[in-house]
Structure 1
């Protein structure tokens, strides 16, 4: 009881997060969930945002099996769509305490079900879905006509990142004469115009909108009600030329998007606007959407100088127009700036000058900065409030099927931040796919007051022995680490909550199991590792607080567990990993989105003991197997996988990508 209460107090004293919420509920369960402790948790969570109090998919799967995870009454947010390959979406039932509900994509049936059962969701205030199609017209019309719609304060029926290539969303038209309480809406421009002109949303203060034509841009800009907006996320999807490149490229500027952007920002009244997001779309290597003319119109409107938060994402811009944006910012007012995937180089970094006294978040990821740009930001600019910095490249997803796009700041650019006066308040540093080597690691680990450090998708084999790691979260995914590197890593002290070691070269977890950090871990990602059974047993005895464990493997992994071979008894036995509320096992095909095994052959699954841990039973009961599980592994299969193992040429491929990125950056700079 004392340990559980101490864990709860530790969670409540720290920053809110979904993982921390799960740790709190686990501690509550260990204590037996007495009423007085539930009340203590309720009181401590009162100031947390409801999105942090989210139930993971595994909790919903357990509930579908008739098992309510401890702390279920504390849940306020649900995200129904499973994001794991081969895991089924869980049937949806109303829950009275839920305030936020995210149905995910292609969820017309679920939207209709929620609409019909709104009285059974009395506290629901936020509803979101995306990628609705013509087939969902009846569900959307039913929601629009539903009298219960007045209880919602936030409604998203689109995502501004959607590219509109394969579908046409249905209209959302509540009847004129109604008054909704929406403070946020995510809609197509034509629907938003209907709502604001009809006086249906008098309280609207935040909008995510997709503009699909020049006419829509003009109609939306003419709505005087936009003057009360405080937040706007907007995407222009007015044209598409279909061109893409397999080589590094800027992408394609869409003239129709430029024209629509200029028409909107040249005429809209946005006097209260404080947060602005503009989103384009990704191509194979590059982006498409509005370009310099559209962005210049945004600057000319005067809105940039009034913003506290600005985000530009996935746009074929290059340096010149982005520099004009940077120069228009109010140095004392801007708090968050994200220039993510807008094809800029050191020239944009060098446009930062003087002091940005309020800037807490700076994201320059997925671009082409080098060590020069990173050093300039570290030493030649004053960022006294900076807490979060992202200079990552594009990791590119699974290393079996994708290749990283490097932002080539290298060791010199990264280490500059270890000695930067701007790092004094830095708690989060993301440097994925930036061309780092182990030489930079010791200094990086002493940067600021780091709680989150992301070094993933860098070549870090030969990990050095260091005394201490940053607190809370460390991401070393796809760093080509070996068993020897794992031994060196575990020589350090730390107080980690989350550790990501996916896509490395581990065969043994004995060093990990003996590490003093492991008993306090909440999340451990060993995706695509093939650990021996003894290592798993030792790890299971040590990881007493672990909530989530990922042991999935890709079908192309050379030494993956054969389809007909069961995982060891440690996975079934709740005496090991006693705190788990989520586990992911088996073999998946990450390219085709298929699941080939569950970690247990069908005959074994049918004979699992009734004492098998609940989280495993729920996982196995909610799988969608796309193919029949095959028989024993063959020598021919192993030989073929060996020929295609991404690790053979990983270092060479990354070096080539870094050289390509540097050459492309020089070309962009002229």
Structure 2
């Protein structure tokens, strides 16, 4: 039996996270939620960021069903969208006085209207977020802008700078010019942001996310003297679109209008206090579109880069030359976080790092084309004494049934260079998804730094080696072609994991998993697209006493899937098994069309579920969206058809081909 009070103290002593918060609340519930223990939790959570104290979708679904989970009074953040195929987006709950952060998600005009109508009752709300609002939401946005209660907010986002504006026009947001707002952050279209600055109603503003659609908007914004007070700026230039895309690897398309707008803005804007800058482009089929070398050269020419503590460039058609100039312009003693994501970079950029970067804690170079040479240079020929987080991943590409990874081909040699690197002393988080590594690299990788989080997903890791050590908190093995024998080898390791991701592998039995010493302490287990036998699931239910979230969904193309009319074992409905569970995901989904085909329980079985059924299961089943439930018996013809579409057919060869393609493209980029 788990000591609930001891578990609470362990969680409070560890790093804050949304998953850890859920574990704390579950332990509080097991202890019966006595008032003195609630007070202890409240005191211990004082230093946690409010965004970590978030109620997951399953908690909001439970609230919609009429009951609050243990620890609800400790919640400070709500996010309404589930992010799950075939699960309902939830209505805004009645005002929750303790909540400080509210994320309405995308296409949420109705929720914006409801928030505006009830804003006075959200007495502690300070942060409001939404995105992808359209012209149909103009009335709701206007009402929010006119609401006097808006003056209580400290942060408001009505856009996401990554939106490409291909299919809609956002509505204007214009609060009255005679009103004072407390906003310290605003995410808006450029004309709306200019209105805020010129009207003088946001004197405390220090952070902004802005989307610029024309060169005229760029010039008007740059002319606002109030920009000088900004400490943080995220910007997306969306001034044109040439429509070209490629089915082959490509840098993408430079948009001259974006270059011109970027140059006009950074040549004229007064940004003397800016310390964090993010610039975001947009994705094509392969490659990206947005500003190019001329725009980035203007950023460097402004002299801004050397003053930054954090710089993030994302999804832009760049190549090495302009980015090397950015790296050269950095202040090596000042920069703390550097993200160069999706810029078509090669080892040339890696080699542009020289000397010592004494403050750099986060280095993100994912979705580029570095090889082992670039990874080795960063590991051995540069000094990164403060580095805590490193991401050298390729692009996993989403569901392996429908997508294909783009490899960043550092391979085993590039990965294991970090095991012996002097820069790994403080490394706690390492991401190497889709990098072409093999099982041979795993033992050395697991001896890298003081790893708490390791992501080696979307690599060919069948024949997993027996190892003694695993990361301290999170291990991501999604789509690694693992089978039951690999699971047995994995379970030979002694470790203490919070989260384990085994999605999209070939696991059929959970017996080895249930017997693993790690499982009683797990908070999150992702077995998405696994067809586990009933005995294994039953044993897992008895062993996973701390588990909060379990994913057993399957894609419709899975070969050895649980048929729609095949009943799940009683352990899934029994609240005595998986006793800590606060979220479960079951049934068959179509990840290509974004549709749900089944709930995991046929309608006839759902009707027979009794009052003793696990509440979290009832909540899941009550909040599904299915146009028509598909109940089809498993046939030889159906299996043969699915076999033709199973991504595992030729998987090893496909990944070898993808790595060869990436290496060839890297050579082409280097010239």
- TM-score normalised by length of structure 2: 0.99
Whole-angstrom distance in 1 between the partners of 2:91 and 2:106:
15
Whole-angstrom distance in 2 between the partners of 1:631 and 1:167:
39
Instruction: Give 2:330's aligned residue.
Output: 329
Q: Does 1:236 align with 2:245?
A: no
Any conservation in 2 of the 1:86–1:626 contact (CA below 8 Å)?
no
Whole-angstrom distance in 2 between the partners of 1:340 and 1:19:
26
Whole-angstrom distance in 2 between the partners of 1:347 and 1:388:
22
Instruction: Give 1:158's aligned residue.
Output: 159
Whole-angstrom distance in 1 between the partners of 2:191 and 2:73:
39
Give the drift of 1:631. Answer: 2.9
Give the drift of 1:454. Answer: 0.2
Instruction: Give 1:193's aligned residue.
Output: 194
Whole-angstrom distance in 2 between the partners of 1:469 and 1:147:
53
Instruction: Give 1:175's aligned residue.
Output: 176
Paired residue secondary structure (2:363): strand
| Runs of 4+ residues over 6 Å off in structure 1 | none
Instruction: Give 2:51's aligned residue.
Output: 51
Alignment of 1:261-410 (within 5 A): 261-410=262-411
Q: Does 1:38 align with 2:25?
A: no
Whole-angstrom distance in 2 between the partners of 1:32 and 1:650:
49
Paired residue secondary structure (1:196): helix
Whole-angstrom distance in 1 between the partners of 2:283 and 2:141:
28
Instruction: Give 1:220's aligned residue.
Output: 221
Q: Does 1:616 align with 2:617?
A: yes
Instruction: Give 2:106's aligned residue.
Output: 105
Instruction: Give 1:487's aligned residue.
Output: 488
Query: Which whole-Å deviations, capped at 9, do the CAs of 1:535-568 have from their partners, x for residues lacking one?
Result: 0000000000000000000000001111112211
State the Cα RMSD in Å.
0.7
Number of residue pairs the alignment of both structures matches: 670
Q: Does 1:20 align with 2:20?
A: yes
Give the drift of 1:643. Answer: 1.2
Give the drift of 1:81. Answer: 1.1
Paired residue secondary structure (1:493): coil
Give the drift of 1:363. Answer: 0.1
Any conservation in 2 of the 1:340–1:364 contact (CA below 8 Å)?
yes
Alignment CA distance shift 1:2-1:663 (3 Å): closer
Unaligned stretches of 5+ in structure 2?
none
Whole-angstrom distance in 2 between the partners of 1:445 and 1:113:
49
Q: Does 1:474 align with 2:475?
A: yes
Instruction: Give 1:660's aligned residue.
Output: 661
Give the drift of 1:2. Answer: 8.1
Instruction: Give 1:589's aligned residue.
Output: 590
Instruction: Give 2:412's aligned residue.
Output: 411
Query: Which whole-Å deviations, capped at 9, do the CAs of 1:59-103 have from their partners, x for residues lacking one?
Result: 001111111100000000000011100000122121111000000
Any conservation in 2 of the 1:79–1:102 contact (CA below 8 Å)?
yes
Please say which of residues 308-317 and 626-635 is displaced more in the overlay. 626-635
Alignment of 1:424-503 (within 5 A): 424-503=425-504
Whole-angstrom distance in 1 between the partners of 2:269 and 2:52:
35
Instruction: Give 1:132's aligned residue.
Output: 133
Whole-angstrom distance in 2 between the partners of 1:327 and 1:298:
13
Give the drift of 1:10. Answer: 0.4
Whole-angstrom distance in 2 between the partners of 1:552 and 1:290:
40
Any conservation in 2 of the 1:246–1:285 contact (CA below 8 Å)?
yes
Alignment of 1:469-548 (within 5 A): 469-548=470-549
Whole-angstrom distance in 2 between the partners of 1:315 and 1:465:
41
Give the drift of 1:609. Answer: 1.0
Paired residue secondary structure (1:561): coil
Query: Which whole-Å deviations, capped at 9, do the CAs of 1:558-606 have from their partners, x for residues lacking one?
Result: 0111111221111000111110000000000000000000000001101
Whole-angstrom distance in 1 between the partners of 2:252 and 2:636:
44
Instruction: Give 2:602's aligned residue.
Output: 601
Whole-angstrom distance in 2 between the partners of 1:33 and 1:537:
29
Whole-angstrom distance in 2 between the partners of 1:629 and 1:572:
22
Query: Which whole-Å deviations, capped at 9, do the CAs of 1:440-490 have from their partners, x for residues lacking one?
Result: 000000000000000000000010011111110000000000100000000
Paired residue secondary structure (2:498): strand
Whole-angstrom distance in 2 between the partners of 1:2 and 1:187:
48
Give the drift of 1:627. Answer: 2.5
Paired residue secondary structure (1:429): strand
Query: Which whole-Å deviations, capped at 9, do the CAs of 1:17-37 have from their partners, x for residues lacking one?
Result: 000000000000000000000
Instruction: Give 1:7's aligned residue.
Output: 7
Unaligned stretches of 5+ in structure 1?
none
Paired residue secondary structure (1:215): helix
Any conservation in 2 of the 1:548–1:582 contact (CA below 8 Å)?
yes
Whole-angstrom distance in 1 between the partners of 2:564 and 2:519:
29
Any conservation in 2 of the 1:563–1:597 contact (CA below 8 Å)?
yes
Whole-angstrom distance in 1 between the partners of 2:551 and 2:263:
47
Instruction: Give 1:69's aligned residue.
Output: 69
Whole-angstrom distance in 1 between the partners of 2:551 and 2:58:
12
Any conservation in 2 of the 1:601–1:629 contact (CA below 8 Å)?
no
Whole-angstrom distance in 2 between the partners of 1:192 and 1:530:
51
Q: Does 1:145 align with 2:146?
A: yes
Give the drift of 1:286. Answer: 0.1
